[in-house]
Chain A
Amino acid sequence: MRRNLTPYTFLLPYLLIFGVFWAWPILYSFYLSFLDTRSFPWAWNPGANWGRILQDATFQDALRNTFLILLIQVPLMLALATALAVALNSRLLKFRPFFRFAFFAPVVVGAVAYSAVFRLIFNTDFGALNSGLKVLGLGPVDWLYTPGPAMAVIILVVTWRWTGYNAIIILAGLQSIPKDIYEAAAIDGATPWQQFLRITLPGIRPVLLFCFVLSIIGTLQLFTEPFLITNSGPGTATMTLGTYLYQQGFRSFNFGYASAIAYTVALLAAVFSLIQLRFFGRD
């Protein structure tokens, strides 16, 4: 009996910390989502948050924006990342390590720093981009204060940041495909395009799936860029589930509703991951 307890005694400090800082907040926020925390004292009222989330127009905007980013940005980014990985893997390319680092670098840069830089680039009056457009004879675009362009900026920035990261992961997948398969295919007369479709893509399928799931979860939690670059605006044009959660939780201090949003996001992430594993994960 005592021998069985010994490992748990050693684990106890970890389990305690895990319980207090990880498990408890998660359970507590679930409990919070059933409380009306809009005014003091808090009261049990499940309808206050879960009823509201069903008919909240701002939440629907946030959901729609998040899905829009999901549908446009994730496929675009993964296609780019795959193309980039193939290029980085090519023997024709010189200074490969340098390029690999260059495309990976955006991940290393602090989010606040690069957000500030992008705010400057897209500034309507003094931004580099509008100066460039002017040279081409195109009118200035009010990037950050018009709904469509603001969304385009967010998609662009997120793509800029994560494409290289995904490319590196896909590159690792590419390198696990045996070279002799390509040689055999070349001898059989397969064109490079046929090689890509028949050998490369099936070979990196598990890696692509991994990137896909991670990107979708990442997008569902998207916060930094819309918060720092467009401030969710104009209006709610670039409001995401992440920024709406923040607004409810830490601007309005309505913890119950913020918890309900958080659990909705977690549920969505779980459902999406399950669907993907079901349909694309089978070998």
Chain B
Amino acid sequence: MVKRWMALGMVAAGLGMAQGNISGEITVWSWDIAAKALQATVPSFNKLYPNVKVNVVDLGNQQVYDKGLSGCAAGGTDLPDVYSVENNEAEVFWARFPNCFTDLNTLAPSANAFKGNFPAFKWTELQVGNKTYAMPWDSGPVVMFYRRDLYQKAGVNPDSIETWDDYIAAGKKIVAATGAKVGVIANGTDDEWFRMLANQNGCFYFSNDAKSVTVNKPGCVSALETVKKLIDAGVVMQGGWNEQIQAFKAGKVATAMFGGWYEGTIRSNAPELEGKWGVFRMPAAKKGGVRAANLGGSALALPASSKNKAAAWAFIRHALATTEGQVTMLKEYGLVPSYLPALKDPYVNAASKYWGGQAIWKTILGTLGDVPQARGTQYFQEARQIMIKVQADYVSGRFKSAKEALDSAAKQISSATGLPIAK
């Protein structure tokens, strides 16, 4: 009986949505550029739903995560109506607090109706059994962002770079000719280069079924070796997020490797460098190997404690599951859509003035199909902390080989998570 009333209620809610007469106020938590991008979709949302007031709050990445976890721990108090969560960290929430978020399949229209509109790898971390806890948002297909002028000065043609060995050779030429390095590796504060290279080689901290630790598999060993090779060759410098931005603004680096969302970071931080930047695919481990990876990417969830689920769900669907919402965020802030119909939008195939007339989104999104699957699992942060330390120790020479370093990492991750090391 209760179920039937709920179903009736949902139908009523669905009708309400169709008529656009949902009203009230909703709060959205997000961070940095992602928050600004969500804000940018509000005007077109309000055209359809004029009676909903949307408050986008930019709390910063760590704050959103911390406040979300403590809110869930307190039984769902003080949570917003729409909650941003990184795919890598999403499983922590579903595993620790299975009742904190709304199963989007119980809403009308159900999340299942959108399943085919996103690539499969975006859903893996958002679903538990037949429950769907969040809607996929952006993805982070990795590419190399490079300075055309500096490459030209050194006589390096980016099309000729196919492998990491080619890249190191080119890097030496560029350093000699311009003084600029060809990358900034966060060592001691992050392990993102290792993650991108490992993903490219089809390896990650955990197996895709989230049941074993795979960080000492050959693909990861090769990734860690390449990281050290790059540092030892003197073609990259070391530094965290802020140093990376300062470095490209000051012309001290000629290349940055990141997820596609870094496009917005470069464009909004260095508008004066218009026309000087370009994009090429990341080099492969071996000639003919995979030249794609994914770094980052987020989703939107709907806390179970929300008092205005109809409005919150309408907002999520408008921002993420319409071409209009996704392309707005791409245009304004470079957030890479994972909504497949949005990829057919003319904007994606258009030449970009800032990027020297290159149709960069074609290049960046073109890699999406080649990205090997990787799973963050609920232990992502734990594994990452261990890997940051192991990478720094390996780079400073405290391990004899990358294999030995990763064997140690695997042992630590296994004891931290209780998962066995894969054979």
A interface residues, Cβ below 8 angstroms from B: 36, 38-40, 48, 51-52, 55-58, 61, 125, 145, 147, 233-237, 247, 250-254
Contact = CB atoms under 8 A, between A and B. Distances in A.
A40 B188 contact: no
A253 B92 contact: yes
Interface of B: 66, 69-70, 73, 92, 95-98, 188-189, 240, 246, 378-379, 381-382, 385-386, 388-389, 392, 408, 411-412, 415-418
Given A38-B379, A52-B416, A236-B389, 15 more contacts: A36-B418, A40-B95, A57-B386, A57-B389, A57-B412, A58-B385, A234-B392, A235-B188, A235-B189, A235-B389, A235-B392, A236-B385, A251-B381, A253-B96, A254-B382
B188 A233 contact: yes
Contact of B188 (A36, A39, A52, A234): A234
B73 to A, nearest CB: 7
Interface-central residue, B386, B388, B389, B392, by most chain A CB under 10 Å = B389
Contacts of B70: 250
B415 A52 contact: yes
Given A36-B418, A56-B415, A58-B389, A145 B188 contact: yes
Contacts of B415: 51-52, 55-56
Contacts of A254: 382
Contacts of A237: 188
A125 B245 CA distance: 14
Contact of A252 (B98, B240, B381): B381
A39 B388 contact: no
A187 B385 CA distance: 65
B102 to A, nearest CB: 18
A147 to B, nearest CB: 8
A236 B392 CA distance: 10
B73 A38 contact: no
Given A235-B188, A235-B189, A56 B66 contact: no
B69 A145 contact: no
A26 B226 CA distance: 48
A58 B382 CA distance: 11
Contacts of B412: 56-58
A125 B386 CA distance: 29
A33 to B, nearest CB: 15
Contacts of A234: 188-189, 392
A38 to B, nearest CB: 6
A159 B160 CA distance: 56
7 A-B pairs with least C-beta separation: A234-B188, A235-B188, A52-B415, A235-B392, A235-B389, A39-B95, A253-B96
A58 B98 CA distance: 29
A40 B96 contact: yes
A38 B97 CA distance: 12
Contacts of B386: 57-58
Nearest to A45: B418
Nearest to A253: B96
A137 B258 CA distance: 37
A273 to B, nearest CB: 31
A164 B130 CA distance: 61
Contacts of A250: 66, 69-70
Contacts of A233: 188-189
A145 B378 contact: no
A57 B414 CA distance: 12
A50 B147 CA distance: 52
B378 A39 contact: yes
Interface-central residue, B73, B388, B411, B415, by most chain A CB under 10 Å = B415
Contact of B388 (A56, A147, A235): A235
Nearest to B392: A235
Nearest to A38: B418
B269 to A, nearest CB: 16
Contacts of A253: 69, 73, 92, 96
A145 B189 contact: yes
Contacts of B66: 250-251
A17 B353 CA distance: 67
Contacts of B97: 40
A52 B382 CA distance: 13
A256 B408 CA distance: 24
A28 to B, nearest CB: 15
Contacts of A125: 246
Contact of B240 (A48, A57, A145, A147): A145
A52 B416 CA distance: 7
18 contacts: A38-B378, A39-B95, A40-B96, A40-B98, A56-B415, A57-B386, A58-B385, A58-B389, A58-B412, A125-B246, A145-B240, A233-B188, A234-B188, A237-B188, A250-B70, A252-B381, A253-B73, A253-B96
Contacts of A36: 418
Given A57-B412, A251-B381, A252-B382, A38 B189 contact: no
A234 B395 CA distance: 14
A51 B411 CA distance: 13
B380 to A, nearest CB: 10
A48 B419 CA distance: 11
A48 B418 CA distance: 7
Nearest to B380: A252
Contacts of B379: 38
A234 B393 CA distance: 12
A102 B239 CA distance: 39
Interface-central residue, A58, A145, A235, by most chain B CB under 10 Å = A235
Nearest to B412: A57
A233 B66 CA distance: 19
B231 to A, nearest CB: 15
A237 B388 CA distance: 12
A188 to B, nearest CB: 60
Contacts of B388: 235
Nearest to A257: B416
Nearest to A254: B382
